[in-house]
Structure 1
Amino acid sequence: MASVNWSDTAPLVAFLGTFAAAIGLPVPAMPTLILVGAGLVTASSPLLVLPTFVGALAGAFAGDAAWFLAGRRFGYRVLDGLCRVSLSPDTCVRRASGFFEKRGVKLLLISRFIPGLSLVAIPIAGAGDTRFSRFTLYDLAGAALWVVVGLSAGMVFYRQIDAVLTLLRQFGVGMAALAAAGLLVWIGFRYVRRALLIASLRRSRISVDELSMLLARDPGALIVDVRSASSRRDDPYVIPGSRLFDFSSADTQLATLPRNTSVIIYCSCPNEVSAAKVAERLTKLGFANVRPLTGGLDAWRDSGRDVEAIVLAT
C-alpha cells in the first residue's frame, strides 16, 4: 500500500465510498474505510486523518439526505422501489418499520452497523414526521461513529491488512473467483427460496372479484391487514371489516383466530410476499382456508371498491 499516494486520494476515496454505499450502490464502504485508514498509516500521512474523516462523513450524509428528502417527497413509494431490488423484499420494510417504531430517529445512531437497515430506515424517517434538523443531528452522529470505527480499525490493524493484501496479490485471481462464486450461490439460494414460496401460494391467491363474491356468500370470512404500523399511518384505510395484524404480537393474535373459517390476508407490499408468509404460517397452525389477496389493498382500491378509515393510536 506504500506505493499509493494517499495524500491525493484518501479524502476523495473516503467520500466516494461512503456516498456510493449511502445511495444504495453495492460498494463495501466499511472495508473501504478500513483500507483507507491503513493506507494513511503506511503512507505516514497523519495530517490527512481529519480531511479523510470529513470526506467520509460528508459522503455518508449527502447520500442519506437524498434518501430522507425522497422519503419526504414520495412517502412509502420509495420503500416499494427499494424493496423490489432487495434480496428480502418481503421483510425489509416490515423489519425496518418495526425497528423505527420502537426506537424512532435514534435508530440512525446504530443503523449503519446493521446491513441494509440504514438504507431503508432513512426514507422511513423522511416519510414520517421527523424534522430535518433532528434527522441531521442523529444521522451525523451515527455516521461519525461508523466512520471512526472504520478508519480506526484500519489504523490499528494496518500490519495485518498489509499482509492480507500481499496474500491477495499472490493468489488474487483464484480467491476472488472463489469469493464471487460463493456470493452468487448465496444470492441464487435466496431468490430461489423466495420464488418457491411465491409459487407454492400462487394457486391459492384470491382476486378482488373473488373476494367480493366470497364476502357476499360468507359475511363471516376474516380479512386480515398485515401492513406495518408505519404503512397504515401513511395510508390509514383498510378493506371494510378488516382486522389489523401486527407481527410483534403475532403469536397472541394467531391464537385468537378461528380455524374453521375463510381467512383472507392482504398487504401493500411488492408481490404480496408478506401476506404469503402469514398465510403459510396460518396454514401450518391448522387454518384450512387461507388465501392471500392478489394485489393487496392497492388492487382493491383501484377496482373502485370501498375502503374505510382506521383510527390509529398516536
Structure 2
Amino acid sequence: MQWLMNIIEQHGLGLVFLNVLIEQLGAPIPAYPTLVVTSALAQAGRFSIPGLLGLAVLAALIADVLWFYAGRRYGRKVMATLCRVSLSPDSCVRQTEGVYLRWGAKSLLVAKFIPGFASVASAMAGALGTDIRKFMWYDMLGATIWIGSALLLGSLFSSTIGELLATLDALGRWGLLILAVLLALFIARKAWQRHAFLRMIRQIRISADELYCLIQDGANPLILDVRSDFYRTDGSIPGSVLLDEQNLQGPQSLSIELGHEVVVYCSCPNDASAARVVQRLKSLGYTHVRPLHGGIDAWVAAGHPLELLGQAQ
C-alpha cells in the first residue's frame, strides 16, 4: 500500500486531473473521493489547494467542451450514444432533458452533483445552440462549486481521512484489495441495475409493426408521447397524446379505464423514459401498458406515417 501512497503524494495533481477528465467524459470512475483525499493530504502541505482546484476545473472544462461541440455537430445522436453506454440509463432521459430545457445554461451550476447529468447537459447545450461563452461561464462556475465542495470536505475531515489512509497503509496489500473491491462493487451495482432495467423493458415492449397493426385493426390504443419538446419537432405518431409525467397523480390520471391498451414511446434508444412511465402507470393500476421498442426512431424506420406539429386535429 505504501507504493500507492507514494504515487499519490508524488503525482496527486496529475491523478486528480486524469480522474476528473475521465469521469466527465463518461467513465464510471468517481472523482469526488479522489478530490476529498487529495484535499486532506494538502492540509499537510503535500499539495497546493489552488493548484488542485485549478487543474480539476480545467479537466472538467476540457471534457465538457468536447461534449458541447459533439452536441453542436451531431445533435440528438450524441444523447442517443450517451443513453446506450450509460450505466444509469434513467439518467439520460426526460428528467435530465427537462432540467436543461427549463433552466438552460444555469442548470450547469448543479449539473455535476447529479449522476449522468453533466455530459448530457453539455451535449444538449451544444445541440441547442447555446452561446459558447455563456456555456463556459456557467460550466466553469458549476465545476468550481462541485470541486470546491469536495476540497472543503477534505479539509474539514483531513484528520479522519488521514487516519483512514494510515489504516489502509497498515493493511498493506489488503488495503489495496479493499479499495479495488469497493470500486468493483460500485461498478457492478450500476451494471446490474442497467441489466435489470433493460431486461424488464425487453419483456414487455411492443414493436412498431405490432402497434401499427393494432391501430389498423381498430383496437384504438392510447398512445402516449413522453418526449421532451427538444425531440418533438420532427413529428409524432398520429393520434398520440403528449404526456407530462408529473401529471400522473392518481389511478384515473389518463381518464380511461384501467384495462385500456396503452402504448408509451420516447426517443431514447433504451426506451428508458417510456419504461419509467410504464412502471408508474402500472403502479397506478393500469394493466395493459407497454413501451414502444425503439421509440419514434423505430416507427420512422418501419416506414409508418408521422403527424407533424400543427397537423393534429
Is contact 2:28–2:187 with CA below 8 Å preserved after alignment? no
1:197 aligns with 2:200: yes
C-alpha separation in 2, matches of 1:188 and 1:209: 31
Q: Which sections of structure 1, spanning at least 5 residues, go unmatched?
A: none
SS at match of 1:14: helix
Give a deviation string over 1:230-282, Cα, whole Å, max 9, x none: 332xx431011111111122337962331254322222222324323333433
Aligned to 2:266: 267
Shift of 1:174: 5.3
Alpha carbons of structure 1 residues 274 and 145: separation in structure 2 relative to 1, 3 Å: closer
What do residues 71-118 of structure 1 show as CA deviations (whole Å, max 9, x unaligned)? Answer: 111112112211222233145322211222332211111121223221
Separation in 1, partners of 2:30, 2:170:
22
Question: 1:7-26, aligned counterparts within 5 Å?
Answer: 9-26=11-28
Distance 1:6 1:200 in 2: 47
Which residue of structure 2 lines up, in the alignment, with residue 41 of structure 1?
43
Q: Residue 240 of structure 1: which of 238, 241, 244 is its match?
A: 238
Matches within 5 A, 1:1-314: 4=6, 9-43=11-45, 48-171=48-171, 172-173=175-176, 175-176=178-179, 179-180=182-183, 182-183=185-186, 186-187=189-190, 189-202=192-205, 205=206, 207-218=207-218, 220-232=220-232, 235-251=233-249, 255-259=253-257, 261-310=260-309
Give ranges in structure 2 of 5+ residues lacking alignment: none
Q: For the Cα contact (< 8 Å) 2:68–2:126, is it kept in 1?
A: yes
Normalising by structure 2, report the TM-score. Answer: 0.84
Query: What SS is found at the alignment partner of 1:291?
Result: strand
CA contact (8 A) 2:264 2:277 kept: yes
What CA deviation, in whole Å up to 9, does each residue of 1:181-204 have, x standing for no partner? Answer: 6436633641453244224414xx
- Following superposition, the deviation at residue 4 of structure 1 comes to 4.6
Percent of pairs with identical residues = 36
Contact kept, 8 Å, 1:6 with 1:43, in 2: the verdict is: no
Instruction: Find the residue that maps to 1:179 and give its secondary structure.
Output: helix
Deviates more, 1:235-244 or 1:91-100: 91-100
Separation in structure 1 between the aligned mates of residue 136 and residue 115 of structure 2, nearest angstrom = 20
Question: What TM-score do the two structures reach when normalised by structure 1?
Answer: 0.84
Runs of 4+ that moved beyond 6 A: 5-8
Deviation at 1:65, TM superposition (A): 0.6
What is the one-letter code of the residue matched to 2:38?
A: V
Change (3 A) 1:297 1:253: farther
Report the residue type matching 2:223 in the other structure. I
Judge conservation of contact 2:57–2:140 (CA < 8 Å) in 1.
Answer: yes
- Deviates most, 127-136 or 287-296: 287-296
Work out the number of aligned pairs and report it: 304
Letter of the aligned partner of 2:25 in structure 1? Answer: I
